[in-house]
Structure 1
Amino acid sequence: MTNQSDSFEVILVGFPGLPQHLHGLVSAMMFLIYMTSLAANGSVIGLVTLNPRLHQPMYLLIANLAASDVLFDTITLPKLIARYWFGSSTIAFKVCVFQMFWIHHLGSLDSFLLLLMAIDRYVAISQPLRYGAIINNRTVIIACGFCWVFLAPSTKIFHAIEAFKIALCEVNNKINTLYCSHAAIAALSCGDAAHMKQVAFISAMVVLLVPLSLILFSYIMIITVIARSKSSANWQKAFYTCGTHLFLVALYYVLRIFVYIVTNIPVIVIKADVNAVLLFLYSIAPHVGSPFVYFLRTKEIRQTVRKVFQKLKVVISVF
């Protein structure tokens, strides 16, 4: 047993049980996914930043969500790629805790940003004439800044401090999953980590379920407002306005909540291999899919992309 966290190293297993001959293929797939995420989310950030027409509250929120996704993938995927590409599987414990903090910080941030999007959509539909007075770019920037700096990391700092206090075992230094999550670090403890796991689960449920409950409530209110209008045009407008957000909520919440609940039911045992795949599906895959949802379902972004390609064609034709 040791508390020398400065010199302690852990082994990142990745996908447990993955055959050696598939390591190259998996690393190539992870690299492709990372590059796709960088390109897609980076394009969203660039389009929103550089195009004045997209300097609107909803697009600022989308850009913040894209930035959060890029950071999450940058913190997790390069190490996972190196583990399978170069066989670099060790990671210093303090770096592992640093990774854990940012993973849960950014995961919490996504929930709060999706909640802000729901509030934006509710005000846009229920108070269209007062929308500009209630929600503007300055309000959104302040709200996003508060989420980034204060709200999202508030409980995660406590988890990071607690992680440094656990009794580490030299013989128990394997992270049997894709990255250093709170549960994975708790499993490294030589002592009883039940309390640490319980606190982490409650914290995760609060961060997930409270915003989701408010999001669902906002959509109940939206449906109520539209139902009172008795206009098919309003239904079409609401579907166009809220469709993208609903896709994002489904991508980020459904599988994540299912896995969190199932993995914490004592009578249900999920194999490490299956758990790693589910972790990938709910934590990394949405970051690749969400930018394409923006491009396919957001008219203004599609028009901006089309104009960019038209300008590129002109430039290429000149040369």
Structure 2
Amino acid sequence: MVSNFTWMRSFLILGFPGLSPQFYAPVSALLFFLYLLIAIGNIFILTFVFCEKSLQKPTYVVFCHLALIDLTFGTATLPKIISKYWFGDNIISFNGCFTQMFFVHYLGSVTSFMLLVMALDRFIAICIPLRYPVLITNNIISVLCGFAWIIPLPLMVAIVLHALTLPFCKSNVIAQCYCDHISITSQACGDDVIIVKVIALCVAMICLLVPLAFIVFSYISIIVVILKISNVAGRKKTLSTCTPQILITCLFYLPRCFVYVANIVEFSFSLDVRILLILLYSLFPAAINPIIYCFKTQDIKQMLMKRLRKTRIGIEIKFSY
């Protein structure tokens, strides 16, 4: 029995325990496709907004930060599980596992605070529109986004360092597709494990529920204001300006709330289903968000169509010669 955490040199990523080896290749290909989707979609958004000066507005600054978070999250989590199913490499170093855990929880917390900034942007734009040009500028939104990156940093560093103090004397198998706090601390032993878990849970709830409280308040206020608009066309137009934000927020929070509520009511999942649910709510929004930006945001959609028309005309002129 190992009695000191420094003796545990590495962890083994379990992935989906019930998955038959004959499906390893298709699963690795699917995960690789998912990673390509995340990488191409979010790099496209970052590049497109950066190159189009007309899109460099507060709302799209927040979109770019979210795209950067999604890209980083996918890069931090997917390569290792792809490597497991593609090459049979399921070993991750002790330090590598804790580094991955940090990025998983840190980026999730940053997303939560970034969604708060996004809700604040829409709240001011719709509820107090006359003050919007003064209260929300590119510089102000950049500062707010900076705070969204900075606030969770010391909290997540403290969580990781606290987990490092535990002795790891159980199995070194991570029952997940990537290293997270629950999976790692489940392999620890000693009287301090419960304290570490409770503190981490409290920090997670603060990072998720405090932004969520304001987000819910802001979107309820926005819906109330929209319902008061007598003109149907005006009501639809105003609603369309915050539809992408509402969809992105729902994609992030609803699956998490479902899993947490299921745990509270003691609704049990099989291990494979639980791992799949966590993987989906972690990575599905990162793949879908760029599509929402492009097809649910009028400015980006119009700019894309304009670019495509110019490209088509250019190709037609080239072939005509």
Q: TM-score, normalised by structure 1?
A: 0.93
CA distance in 2, matches of 1:305, 1:6: 55
CA deviations over 1:71-90 (Å, ceiling 9, x no partner): 00000001110010001100
Residue matched to 2:177: 178
Residue matched to 1:56: 57
CA deviations over 1:294-317 (Å, ceiling 9, x no partner): 111111111222233344445656
Residue matched to 1:198: 198
Q: Per-residue deviation at 1:2? A: 3.8
* Structure 2 unaligned residues grouped into runs of 5+: none
Residue matched to 2:160: 160
Q: Per-residue deviation at 1:12? A: 0.5
Amino acid at match of 1:164: L
Residue matched to 2:239: 239
CA distance in 2, matches of 1:30, 1:226: 40
Q: Per-residue deviation at 1:4? A: 4.6
CA distance in 2, matches of 1:40, 1:2: 46
CA distance in 2, matches of 1:63, 1:37: 14
**Within 5 A, what are the aligned runs for 1:1-319?**
1-5=2-6, 8-148=9-149, 150-169=150-169, 172-192=171-191, 193-263=193-263, 267-313=266-312, 318=318
Matched-pair contact (CA < 8 Å) for 2:65–2:145: yes
Matched-pair contact (CA < 8 Å) for 2:73–2:104: yes
Matched-pair contact (CA < 8 Å) for 1:7–1:92: no
Matched-pair contact (CA < 8 Å) for 2:58–2:141: yes
CA distance in 2, matches of 1:311, 1:5: 60
CA distance in 1, matches of 2:264, 2:187: 18
CA distance in 2, matches of 1:210, 1:147: 13
CA distance in 1, matches of 2:27, 2:229: 52
CA distance in 1, matches of 2:142, 2:126: 21
CA distance in 2, matches of 1:200, 1:269: 22
Matched-pair contact (CA < 8 Å) for 2:176–2:275: yes
Q: Per-residue deviation at 1:165? A: 0.8
CA deviations over 1:186-243 (Å, ceiling 9, x no partner): 1110224222222222222222222111111012222333445544344223211111
Q: Taking structure 1 as reference, are residues 6 and 191 closer, same or farther at Cα in structure 2, changes over 3 Å only?
A: closer
Q: Taking structure 1 as reference, are residues 3 and 234 closer, same or farther at Cα in structure 2, changes over 3 Å only?
A: farther
Q: Taking structure 1 as reference, are residues 225 and 309 closer, same or farther at Cα in structure 2, changes over 3 Å only?
A: closer
Q: Percent identity?
A: 36
State the secondary structure of the residue aligned to 2:289: helix
CA distance in 2, matches of 1:33, 1:5: 35
Q: TM-score, normalised by structure 2?
A: 0.92
* Aligned residues between the structures: 316
State the secondary structure of the residue aligned to 1:15: coil
Q: Taking structure 1 as reference, are residues 187 and 4 closer, same or farther at Cα in structure 2, changes over 3 Å only?
A: closer
Amino acid at match of 1:246: I
CA distance in 1, matches of 2:283, 2:276: 10
CA distance in 1, matches of 2:311, 2:181: 45
CA distance in 1, matches of 2:3, 2:52: 54
CA distance in 1, matches of 2:312, 2:31: 31
State the secondary structure of the residue aligned to 1:189: coil
* Structure 1 unaligned residues grouped into runs of 5+: none
Amino acid at match of 1:286: P
Farther-moved stretch of structure 1 (132-141 vs 228-237): 228-237
CA distance in 1, matches of 2:19, 2:135: 52
Q: Taking structure 1 as reference, are residues 153 and 6 closer, same or farther at Cα in structure 2, changes over 3 Å only?
A: farther
Matched-pair contact (CA < 8 Å) for 1:3–1:165: no
CA distance in 1, matches of 2:24, 2:74: 19
Matched-pair contact (CA < 8 Å) for 1:183–1:200: no
